[in-house]
Amino acid sequence: MRAAVIHGERDVRLEDVPTPTLYTGSGSDGLDAVVRVVAACVCGSDLWPYRGVTPTNEPRRIGHEFVGVVEEVGENVRTIRPGDFVIAPFYDCDMTCVNCRNGVSTSCLHGGWWGSEDRIGGFADGGQGEYVRVPHADGSLVATPEYPRAELIPSLLTLSDVMGTGHHAAVSAGVTEGSTVVVVGDGAVGLCAVLASARLGASRIVAMSRHETRQALAREFGATDIVAERGDAGVAAVKELFDGIGADCVLEAVGTKESMDQAIRSARPGGMVGYVGVPNGGPELPVRPLFQSNIGVNGGVAPVRNYVEDLLQDVWSGAIEPGRVFDLEVPLTDIAEAYAAMDERRAIKTLVRP
């Protein structure tokens, strides 16, 4: 089959790789499945190796968001069946271990990451390709009620990562009916965080964005206010909107020291920052201002699998359309363009069709 392979900075190629099969080697558990990918996409975090921010020491498979159709299942798979249309989270997990049961499937005791070997020695393919072998199929995958209409597929694909991640930011910050919210970051995750906050009943949602098209989508997703300023001016603009003190909940969806600083300073005393931007370079959190104003920090790598069933209902009914974050679609053969368009900020998020 053909799948994306990253070789180095700004060098992602479509290559012939082995077509996955169920794992039958030593230690096989009969719990895996093979999925034919219907739609995949490029993640903001894929841009880090693409831009050389994190080094690529040897060519490796890339991609971690996909939806598709189950081709084959292992002998011990109980709920997922061939022919099912399925959503995969950006990692695999069994949904039975204590961490999965606690709602934190990204810390699954037996889980792993796409594009690498799983714990029994089989290979779990990256999502940017024609097929993927999926460990723990009953845990990792969620089947839709039936084969979806074409227009639903982009929104279903966001449940792999960005919509679940935006939702996690909102849940981590404690967004609920009547909350005031600020979202720092206008990428696909930030925009989904706006949508998630509106869905959870926030009374006022400020999107911090300098890009007109993203501002417009933020408004359609439920933002009530836009703040284009950053730094001190951004903090002042936010405080002015909220009694001079800041917002109840601030959702951080970037991952830089600057964006986290912006987030902390935008929260009111007693407020909570929900953060899902992968910390870029590991900025430390400044404990003094957090302590003095009782501002909490909560979040992390989003356990999106735990949210799929809940969010799926609203996607299926059309109540939310997170798939609108996709503003470019390319065939898998143009995978290089899928990356370049996001790298150059010509696209918010690129959908890829094998």
Binding site for a second copy (CB under 8 A): 98-99, 102-104, 106-107, 172, 243, 245, 260, 268-270, 272, 275, 278-279, 282-288, 290-301, 303
Distance CA 107, CA 95 (A): 10
Strand partners, 116: 124
Closer by beta carbon to a second copy, 217 or else 264? 264
Closer by beta carbon to a second copy, 47 or else 278? 278
User: How is residue 35 written in tokens?
Assistant: 């999925």
**Whose CA is closest to 35, among 75, 74, 76, 93?**
74
Q: Please, are residues 171 and 104 in contact by the beta-carbon 8 Å criterion?
A: no
231-241 vs 257-266: helix crossing angle, rounded to 10: 30
Furthest-apart CA atoms within the chain: distance in Å = 63
Closer by beta carbon to a second copy, 149 or else 288? 288
DSSP 141-205: -EE-SSPPPGGGHHHHHHTTTHHHHHHHHHHHTT--TT-EEEEE--SHHHHHHHHHHHHTT-SEE
Strand partners, 206: 182, 225
Minimum CB separation of residue 287 from a second copy in Å reads: 5
**Whose CA is closest to 139, among 91, 84, 109, 96?**
96
Closer by beta carbon to a second copy, 43 or else 104? 104
Closer by beta carbon to a second copy, 303 or else 354? 303
Minimum CB separation of residue 311 from a second copy in Å reads: 18
Closer by beta carbon to a second copy, 143 or else 290? 290
Q: What are phi and psi of 83, to 5 degrees?
A: 95, -20
Q: Quick one: which H or E segment has residue 290? A: helix 287-293
Count of Cβ atoms closer than 10 Å to residue 226 Cβ: 18
Minimum CB separation of residue 352 from a second copy in Å reads: 27
Closer by beta carbon to a second copy, 2 or else 265? 265
Minimum CB separation of residue 252 from a second copy in Å reads: 11
Distance CA 259, CA 251 (A): 10
Closer by beta carbon to a second copy, 148 or else 283? 283
Minimum CB separation of residue 111 from a second copy in Å reads: 11
Minimum CB separation of residue 240 from a second copy in Å reads: 14
Region for residue 196 given its phi and psi (left: phi exceeds 0; alpha: psi -120 to 50; beta: otherwise): alpha
Minimum CB separation of residue 175 from a second copy in Å reads: 14
Minimum CB separation of residue 284 from a second copy in Å reads: 4
